[in-house]
Chains A and B, each alone.
Chain A
Amino acid sequence: MATFIFRRLLLAIPTLWFIASVIFLLSKLMPGAFGSTSLGQQEAGYYSRSDATSREHNYRQFLEATGQDLPLFYFSITSAALPDTLHRVFPERDRTFLKKLSWQYGNPMAATHFFRSLKEFEKVLSDTERLQIQQHLFSIYSHQEHAELRQALSDIAQQLPARSAITSELIVKGDTLRTDSSSYTYLLPSLQWHGSQNQYHRWIAGMLKGSLGTSLRDGRPVTIVLGEAVGNTWWLLLASIVVAALLALEMAILMIRRSGRIWRSTLLPSLFLLDSVPLFVLAMLLLVLLASPAFLQLFPVYGMGYYSTYDQNWLQQTGQWLQFMALPMLCLVLANLPYLTNQFYQAMAGVAGQDYIRTARAKGLSEHRVIRRHMLRNALLPVITLLSDYLPTLVAGAVIVETIFAIPGVGRLLIDTVLARDYPVIVGIIVIAAVFRLISHLLSDLLYALADPRIRAQVS
C-alpha cells in the first residue's frame, strides 16, 4: 500500500509542476504588474516633482526587492527589433514607449540612445519649462510618422534656447534614429541567454525549499497568508461534505425501501428542481430569506464575528463558529444534495436486484438489516470513487459561498487576489487546489481498500 501511495505522489509532481509553471509564466507575460498603477503614477507628478522622483525610486526598490527586474526565463527569443535590456526599463509606461520606438524604427541601439537622452533631458527640465513644451513632449511620445518626431524636436529647441547643449544632443540622437531606421528588422529573431539569474529560477528554487514567495499586497509570505485562510475553508468543506453525504445516504435508503414509493415520487423531482438552481442564486436566496432584517433574521449575515475567542472554552467557540457557518454550510449541502443522492440511489438500485439480496430477504432478515448490512457495503464501492472526484467541485462551491458570506477562507482570498492581481498568492492557491485533489485521490484509494477486502488482499 505504501509503495502504491508513493507512486501516486511521484506521478502527481510533474502535473503540479506543469500547471504552476504555466500559471506563473502566463501571469508574468501579461502587462500590468502589481503596483504599477499605485506606485508608479507619474501623472500626478507634474506639479510635485520631488514627490514623483521619490515615488519612482520607491517603485524601483520594490521591483528589485521582489526580483521583478530580472529576466523571466533562462533564455528568451524576441524579435531583433526590440532591445535586449527591455526588462530592466521601468516604469511600465517608459517600457512601452521604448518598445514602440524601437519597433517603429527597427533599430534597438539607436532607439535606446534616443530614449536615454530624452529621459536625461526631461530630468533637467524645470516645471515652467516642462509646461512650455508639454505639447511637443506629448507628440514625441505618441508620434506615428518620422516627420512628426523631427518637427517636435526642432520646436523644443526653438522654445528652450537656454538649454541648447542638451537639446542639440537630443536632435542628433533623433536624426540617427531616423536615418538608421530599417523597416523589416522585426522578422529576425534574436536569442538571449540569461543564465540562472531569472525570475522563474528564483521562484522554482523557492518552491523546492517550500516557500511560495511573498504576497505583493502586504509583503507577508504566501504560506502564512494561505495558512490563515485554509483552516476556515477546510472545516467548512469537511462539515458540509459529511452532512451532505450522510443526508444523501439516508434519503437513498428511504427511497430504496419497498415502502419508499411515496419518497421516490416526491424526493426525486424536487431534487431535480433543486439541481437546476445555481449555487450563487441559492446562497443569495437563503441570505435574503434567513439573514436579512426584511424577512427572517435567524442568522448573522456576514463574516466570522468580531468577538474575541480567548476567554471562551472550545464549546463556546464551536457554538459561535457554527452560528456563522450554519448558512454557508446549508448552502453547500443543499447544492450538493441532488447529485449525491442520485448517485447513491443509482448505486443501491443497481445492487438491489442481485441474487444475494434476494437470498438475504429469503432468509427472513428485516428490511433494515438487508439494506444496511448487505446492500450498503456493496453499493458503497462506486460511490467512494465518485465522492473523491466530487471533492474538487466542492472547492469551487466554497469559492462562491465564501465570497457571498464573507468568510475569510481560501475562496474569498482567491477572489480578492484575482481582483488585485497578486500572482504569488494565486499560484499558491493553485498549488493548494492541486494538492487537495491529490489528497482526495489518495483518500479514495484508502477507503476503497477499507470497504473491499479483496482489494486489500491484492495490494498487500
Chain B
Amino acid sequence: MKKLWHIAREAWQLAPAFRLSLLYLILLALVALALPWLPLAYGPNELDLEQIFQAPLGWGNETNKPRHWLGTDGLGRDVLANVLYGIRTAFAISLPVMVMASLIGLALGAIAGLFGNHRLRLSRSLLAALLFALLPFTYYGIYLPTMLYSQGAPYSDFLLTGTVAISLSLVFVLVSAPLFRRMSFFNRTIHFPTDELLLRIIEVQTSIPRLILILVLAAIVPPTLPALSVLLVLTFWTGTARLARAEMLRIRELPFFEAATSLGFTQRRLLVRHALPLLLGPVLVAFSFGLAGLLMLESTLSFLNIGVSTDLVSWGRMIAGIRTNTSAWWLVAIPGAMLSLTVLALQTFSYYILRFLQHKK
C-alpha cells in the first residue's frame, strides 16, 4: 500500500499528463456526486417535444423555457443533463462490476498461482463426497429459490430451503466421505490441478469474443441492470485472474517468499501477508485498464440497445439518437468526446502507474 502511494506521488510530481488525468477523474467524480444540487434546467429523461434536434447554443428559442445549452436530441431531451447524468450511470455500472471482477480474478488467480498443479493435495473420498453434496445443494440452494422467487413466495420459504440446502449438503459430506473411504479406489490422495483447472476455464470462456458472448447472453436474460452486471462480471474476471496467476508464479520463486515458506507459515498467511501486497500494484493497473474497457463496452451495449432498458440514461443512448438524423453532429460529438476523454484519462493513469511500477523493479 505504502509503495503504491509512493509511486502515485512520484508520478504526480514527474508526469504532468498523469496529474491532468487524475484531476479530470476527480472532477468527474465530484460532478457525479454533486448532480442533485447542480442548477440544471432539465432532467435527463424530460421530453421537450417543441424543441427537438436543437443545435448547441441555439439562439432560436422563442418560448419562455430555459435554454438547452448543449442542444437536444430527437425527443427534445437535454444533451447537457444527459451527458452529466451519463457520468453517473457509466461509473455506477462499471465501478462495482470491475471491483467484483477484480476480487474474483485476484482470488482465483492467486490461489491457482500459489498451489499450482501439485501443491494442493486432497483425498479422493473427500472430493467425491463434495461432488456428491453438490446435488442437494443445487436443488435446494439454487433451483428451489429461483422457483420460489418466480412464484412470489414469502421469506419463510426461502429460509426453509436455505437451511435445508446447507444442512443436507453438510450431512451428505459427513456421511458419504467415510463411506467412500472404505473403498480402496477412494482411499488415496491426489494432486488437485488448481492451475490447470483455472486455465481451462479461462480458455473455454475466451474462445468466444467477449462482445459476442455478452450479446448472446443478453438475449437470454431479461434486460435489467443487475442481470447485465452479473454478465459483465462473469466475462471480465478472466483478465485479472490471468495477470494475478502470472504474478503469483513470479512471486513464488522470489527469495523472501521461499524463506517465508521454509519458516513454516500456513498457506493462508503466505497468501494474505506476503503475496497480496505485491499483487496489488499489477491488479490496480489491470483494474483501471479494465474500467476503461468496461466504459466502452457499456456505452456500446446501450448504443446497440441490447441488455439495457431504454430509459437508462447513458452516453451510448445519446449517441444512438443520431441514427435518425445524421446532421445532428452534437449528439455524437459531445457524449463521444466525454466518453473518449474519460477512457483516455483512465488509460493515461494506468500507463503511468505501470511505468513507475516497472521502473521500481
Known: A276-B340, A278-B340, A281-B336. A396 touches B207 (CB 8 A): no
Chain B nearest Cβ from A415, distance in angstroms: 6
Known: A103-B147, A278-B296, A285-B336. A414 touches B212 (CB 8 A): yes
Q: Once the chains bind, are A430 and B147 in contact (CB under 8 Å)?
A: no
Chain A nearest Cβ from B328, distance in angstroms: 8
Closest to A420 in B: B219
B306 at interface by CB-CB < 8 Å: yes
B220 at interface by CB-CB < 8 Å: yes
List of A residues within 8 angstroms of B220 by Cβ = 26-27, 30
Chain A nearest Cβ from B196, distance in angstroms: 14
Chain A nearest Cβ from B52, distance in angstroms: 16
B95-153 interface (Cβ within 8 A of A) = 139-140, 143-144, 147-148, 151
Known: A276-B292, A396-B209, A433-B208. A418 touches B218 (CB 8 A): yes
Chain A interface SS verdict (over half) = helix
The residue that A187 contacts in the complex, of B161, B204, B300, with Cβ under 8 A, is B161
B75 at interface by CB-CB < 8 Å: no
- Complexed CA–CA distance, A131 and B331 (Å): 51
Closest to A16 in B: B207
> Which size class do B's interface residues fall under?
35 or more
Contacting chain A: which of B169-177, B253-261, B319-327?
A: B319-327
Q: Once the chains bind, are A187 and B306 in contact (CB under 8 Å)?
A: no
B265 at interface by CB-CB < 8 Å: no
Q: Once the chains bind, are B212 and A403 in contact (CB under 8 Å)?
A: no
Chain B nearest Cβ from A15, distance in angstroms: 5
- Complexed CA–CA distance, A27 and B332 (Å): 35
Closest to A269 in B: B17
The residue that A277 contacts in the complex, of B151, B160, B219, B336, with Cβ under 8 A, is B336
Q: Once the chains bind, are A281 and B204 in contact (CB under 8 Å)?
A: no
Chain B nearest Cβ from A16, distance in angstroms: 8
- Complexed CA–CA distance, A458 and B154 (Å): 67
Chain A nearest Cβ from B282, distance in angstroms: 18
Q: Once the chains bind, are B215 and A418 in contact (CB under 8 Å)?
A: yes
Q: Once the chains bind, are B216 and A285 in contact (CB under 8 Å)?
A: no
B270 at interface by CB-CB < 8 Å: no
- Complexed CA–CA distance, A434 and B209 (Å): 9
Chain B nearest Cβ from A200, distance in angstroms: 16
List of A residues within 8 angstroms of B210 by Cβ = 396
Chain B nearest Cβ from A279, distance in angstroms: 8
B196-213 interface (Cβ within 8 A of A) = 203-204, 207-212
Q: Once the chains bind, are B209 and A433 in contact (CB under 8 Å)?
A: yes
Closest to A100 in B: B151
A153 at interface by CB-CB < 8 Å: no
A264-302 interface (Cβ within 8 A of B) = 272-273, 275-281, 284-285, 287-288, 291-295, 301
Q: Once the chains bind, are A79 and B147 in contact (CB under 8 Å)?
A: yes
Q: Once the chains bind, are B339 and A281 in contact (CB under 8 Å)?
A: yes
Chain B interface SS verdict (over half) = helix
Q: Once the chains bind, are A430 and B326 in contact (CB under 8 Å)?
A: no
B233 at interface by CB-CB < 8 Å: no
A421 at interface by CB-CB < 8 Å: yes
Q: Once the chains bind, are B209 and A15 in contact (CB under 8 Å)?
A: no
Closest to B300 in A: A280
- Complexed CA–CA distance, A395 and B207 (Å): 12
A374-417 interface (Cβ within 8 A of B) = 392-393, 395-396, 399-400, 403, 414-415, 417
B303 at interface by CB-CB < 8 Å: yes
List of A residues within 8 angstroms of B40 by Cβ = none
Q: Once the chains bind, are B204 and A18 in contact (CB under 8 Å)?
A: yes
Chain A nearest Cβ from B234, distance in angstroms: 12
List of B residues within 8 angstroms of A15 by Cβ = 203-204, 207
Q: How many A-B residue pairs have CB under 8 A?
A: 138
Chain A nearest Cβ from B79, distance in angstroms: 15
A199-220 interface (Cβ within 8 A of B) = none
The residue that B219 contacts in the complex, of A19, A285, A403, A426, with Cβ under 8 A, is A426
> Which size class do A's interface residues fall under?
35 or more
- Complexed CA–CA distance, A418 and B224 (Å): 16
B304 at interface by CB-CB < 8 Å: yes
List of A residues within 8 angstroms of B299 by Cβ = 278, 280
B164 at interface by CB-CB < 8 Å: yes
Closest to A103 in B: B151
Residue of B139, B216, B292, B329 ringed by the most chain A CB atoms within 10 A: B216
B344 at interface by CB-CB < 8 Å: yes
- Complexed CA–CA distance, A419 and B209 (Å): 19
Closest to B347 in A: A276
A324 at interface by CB-CB < 8 Å: no
Q: Once the chains bind, are B336 and A284 in contact (CB under 8 Å)?
A: yes
Chain A nearest Cβ from B45, distance in angstroms: 22
Q: Once the chains bind, are A288 and B218 in contact (CB under 8 Å)?
A: no
B343 at interface by CB-CB < 8 Å: yes
List of A residues within 8 angstroms of B333 by Cβ = 285
List of B residues within 8 angstroms of A434 by Cβ = 207-208
- Complexed CA–CA distance, A287 and B326 (Å): 8
Q: Once the chains bind, are B306 and A415 in contact (CB under 8 Å)?
A: yes
Q: Once the chains bind, are B344 and A396 in contact (CB under 8 Å)?
A: no
Closest to B296 in A: A278
Closest to B340 in A: A277
B221 at interface by CB-CB < 8 Å: yes
Closest to B135 in A: A77
Q: Once the chains bind, are B326 and A301 in contact (CB under 8 Å)?
A: yes
Chain B nearest Cβ from A430, distance in angstroms: 6
Q: Once the chains bind, are B332 and A281 in contact (CB under 8 Å)?
A: yes
Closest to A399 in B: B211
The residue that A433 contacts in the complex, of B212, B218, B221, B336, with Cβ under 8 A, is B212
A62 at interface by CB-CB < 8 Å: no
- Complexed CA–CA distance, A291 and B209 (Å): 30
List of A residues within 8 angstroms of B140 by Cβ = 187
Known: A19-B208, A187-B164, A284-B319. A276 touches B306 (CB 8 A): no
B320-361 interface (Cβ within 8 A of A) = 322, 326-327, 329, 332-333, 336, 339-341, 343-344, 347
Residue of A27, A280, A395 ringed by the most chain B CB atoms within 10 A: A280
List, sorted by A's number, 19 A–B pairs whose CB atoms are closer than 8 Å. A15-B204, A19-B208, A26-B220, A27-B219, A27-B220, A30-B221, A77-B139, A272-B347, A276-B340, A276-B343, A276-B344, A278-B339, A280-B300, A392-B208, A392-B209, A393-B209, A415-B215, A430-B216, A434-B208
Given pairs A273-B344, A277-B340, 9 additional interface contacts (CB within 8 A): A19-B207, A23-B216, A77-B143, A278-B299, A292-B327, A400-B304, A414-B215, A433-B208, A437-B207
6 smallest A-B Cβ distances: which pairs? A294-B327, A396-B211, A276-B344, A292-B326, A281-B336, A418-B219
